[in-house]
A and B are shown apart, each in its own frame.
Chain A
Amino acid sequence: MADLLTATPATASAAPSPRARDRRRARRNTLIGWSFILPNFLGFAVLTLVPVIAAFALSFMEWDSYNPPEWVGLDNFQRLLNDESTKIALRNTAFYALGHVPLTMLAALGLALLLNRKIAGVGFFRAAAFFPYITSMVAVAVVWNMLFHPQFGPVNQFLQFVGVDSPPGWTTSTTWAMPAIILTSVWRDMGYYMVLFLAGLQAIPVEQYEAAKVDGAGTWQRFRAVTLPGLRPVTFLVLILLTVQSFKVFDLVVVMTDGGPGRATLVLSQQIYRRGIIEGEFGYASAISLVLFLLVLVFTLVQFWFNNRRERR
């Protein structure tokens, strides 16, 4: 290299071909780009990527966290198919997602529409709606547990006041425990997604509304023809975030009911925690996590696919 530089000063001063220069510049740009994401990627790789891949590998093994893992092939998955608790957990998680995703979306969108106008004190109301989201999850769970108390809780006292004779037992009832958790989580999360929707609403050009008005569109028609399509990117984002969040639900359930009564509110991530951390079967717990991962992946891909198709239309 040094030889080359000193021995051929004449050719060095000659300009390299423009194409080679472009290529070199592109490569340098790529390297610079990589160097920018390197710190973040390193952290991600060491703390997330490697453990995730290790967890996938563990799902084909039996491991007690101490002795060397033992290869068991598909045994863990076979066991999963026959495990009543995991099936119940899967069903409960699906039930939670089915309740939590649409209800939170509706509530958040409703709030955003309400608070997207110029009324006095709108800042206060927006902050009030956002407040549950920054409240500690444990505090939320404990307080709602008290609100839902079958006899002395304000929720049931209100229900009795408006004429419901035998209000539900909420967290003490196998039928109503999950709805109670869903209601709590909707209340907690709606403020956050409201903010996303608000940002989306403000990105819709006013001209479109004016044009629609000129064309004689009523409020409902303007909402359907202008607001909803304009919100589609945000709606999609919210949908993905909510779905992933719903499948991962853990803390709220643990504090509110700890999966009870019985197994009425046992969810997948809790099942993973119990099998792995509590009972020390890390291979089997990893197998359940793999299933959970695939579930979330499939749902997300399906949603992406739907969104793409509608965007192309």
Chain B
Amino acid sequence: MLAVGLAMAVALPLAACGSGEDNAESGPVELTVAVWNLATTPEFQTLFDAFHKANPDITIKPVDILAADYPTKVTTMLAGGDTTDVITMKTLADYVRFAGRGQLKDITSLATSTEGSKLAGLDQYKQDGDKYYALPYRQDHWVLYYNKKMFDAAGQAYPTSLTWDQYVEVAKKLTSGTGDKKVYGAYQHTWRSIVQAISAAQTGGDQLAGDYKFFADQYKTALALQEAGATLDFGTAVTQKTGYASMFETGKTAMLPMGTWYISKILSEKQKGTTDADWAIAPMPQRPGASGVTTFGAPTAFAVNKKAKHADAAQKFVEFAASLEGAKAITGIGIVPAYKSDEILKQYFALPGMPTDELSKKAFSPDKVNPEMPVSDKTAKIDTILNEEHQLIMTKQKSLDDAIKEMESRVKNEVN
């Protein structure tokens, strides 16, 4: 009895506050948008400026949150009945959680419009069969960054269409030096996606299904690379908290599989003169006999808070960010928009400092981009399990076969 009363006491104020929603608005509006690391994530300000220019009566007030705390902070805000109008969906997993709790406004009509069909990654936001609670404004996919100068120096051909085995061989040939002077052929960052998501994307395996034998080949590649000393070993990368950007920008590695979000960063670093890496991008290595280029990617989206103070203006902003106009604005600073069109492609490759060779263009438009991780209410738990076993494989604390068996039995027993 006491417990129920207390729970009510906790729940009541949450339910009571901030259910107001004024629809008919006129005059100037101050729209609040939750974003992360505003100072180092220029896309937000760029979008805000472009939106304000198109809608002079709406000014935008960003709610800046530390990137690492973003999901937890937003969870707390929404639970407390916060009325911030637009919430940026940093990951799909966050989106599913917020949408599942009924914290986001239904914007299906925007998603099913004619413009909506041009948005890459949109279908990943489909909920309950046919509902959408967010619109993606950017869609990143993974490519292989490489340092042309290092390839030239080693007399190697550029990685036009590698298989994973060839990737390991090339990496070995590009590795040189010892100790502090050691230069690696490739740098595989510590995230599990670099092994698991790419193998799911290229073999058609399902990371939620509980059968993980399809990971095996990709792990053999990753372990072979590590065994040969052609990449910084996993343990070192974790303990030293190695940054992939510094590995590539200081010429410590010749190849770097990474998402397209890195393009805008390296463009601006080159402009500032902090790196002289002579870079270009190539398609991700493929499995032998694969037809076309298959990689994985993840979208980023804006959603309207169900308790938004200015729901109409918020919806307008979400629509703008996903439109051609919004896409042009962020393309201007090297961000890959979700909106796909030839116009955007042309604008992107005309950016100063952007490599314009055919291979880079091919890498930028892969034949198939599969989701990094399928989303459901089980995603967060399975993600934790797969990540833990990933660490055990890469630090050689468990054999590959045992770890895959462990993944399968843990997902079966711990996720229901």
Bound-state CA distance A68–B12 (Å) is: 8
What is the total number of residues of chain B having a CB less than 8 Å from a CB of chain A? 40
Is there a chain A Cβ closer than 8 Å to B239's Cβ? yes
Chain B residues in 8 Å Cβ range of A65: 75-76, 79, 101
Chain B residues near A208 (CB, 8 Å)?
Answer: none
Residue with the highest number of chain A CB atoms closer than 10 Å, among B6, B78, B413: B6
User: A interface, by DSSP: helix, strand, loop or mixed?
Assistant: loop
Q: Which of chain A's residues 46-70 have a Cβ closer than 8 Å to chain B?
A: 53-54, 56-58, 60-61, 63-69
Least CB distance, B13 to chain A, in whole angstroms: 12
24 A-B pairs (CB sep. < 8 Å):
A54-B7, A57-B3, A57-B6, A58-B10, A63-B7, A65-B76, A65-B101, A66-B79, A67-B102, A69-B10, A84-B413, A84-B414, A145-B241, A172-B234, A172-B235, A172-B236, A174-B392, A174-B395, A261-B397, A262-B388, A262-B392, A277-B72, A277-B75, A279-B380
B225-271 residues at the A interface, CB under 8 angstroms: 234-236, 238-241
Q: Is B11 an interface residue (CB 8 A)?
A: yes
Among A124-132, A148-156, A199-207, A218-226, the one that faces the other chain is A148-156
Whether the pair A66, B4 counts as a contact (CB closer than 8 A) is no
Question: In the complex the two chains form, is B102's CB within 8 Å of A274's CB?
Answer: no
- The reply on B24 being an interface residue by CB < 8 A is no
Contact partner of B395 (CB less than 8 A), chosen from A54, A172, A278, is A172
CB distance from B189 to the nearest CB of A (A): 15
Partner among B11, B78, B238 whose Cβ is within 8 Å of the Cβ of A68: B11
B389 CB–A CB distance under 8 Å: yes
Q: Contacts of B88 on A, CB cut-off 8 Å?
A: none
Task: Tell me if B235 and A150 are in contact (CB < 8 A).
Answer: yes
Checking A57, A68, A145 against B239 with a beta-carbon cut-off of 8 angstroms, the contacting residue is A145
Which one of A58, A61, A145 lies within 8 Å of B240 (CB-CB)? A145
Total contacts A-B at CB 8 Å: 104
Task: Report whether over half of chain B's contact residues are helix, strand or loop; otherwise say mixed.
Answer: helix
> Closest residue to A147 on the B side, CB-wise?
B239
Judged by a CB distance under 8 angstroms, whether B14 is at the interface is yes
Q: How far is the CA of A62 from the CA of B380 in the complex (A)?
A: 17
A146 to B103, CA, bound (A): 43
CA distance A58 to B79 in the complex (A): 15
Q: Contacts of B384 on A, CB cut-off 8 Å?
A: 274
Tell yes or no: B398 within 8 A of A by CB.
yes
Interface string of A80-111 (1 = CB under 8 A from B): 00011100000000000000000000000000
Which residue on A lies nearest to B101, using beta carbons? A66
CA–CA, A247 to B388, complex, Å? 22
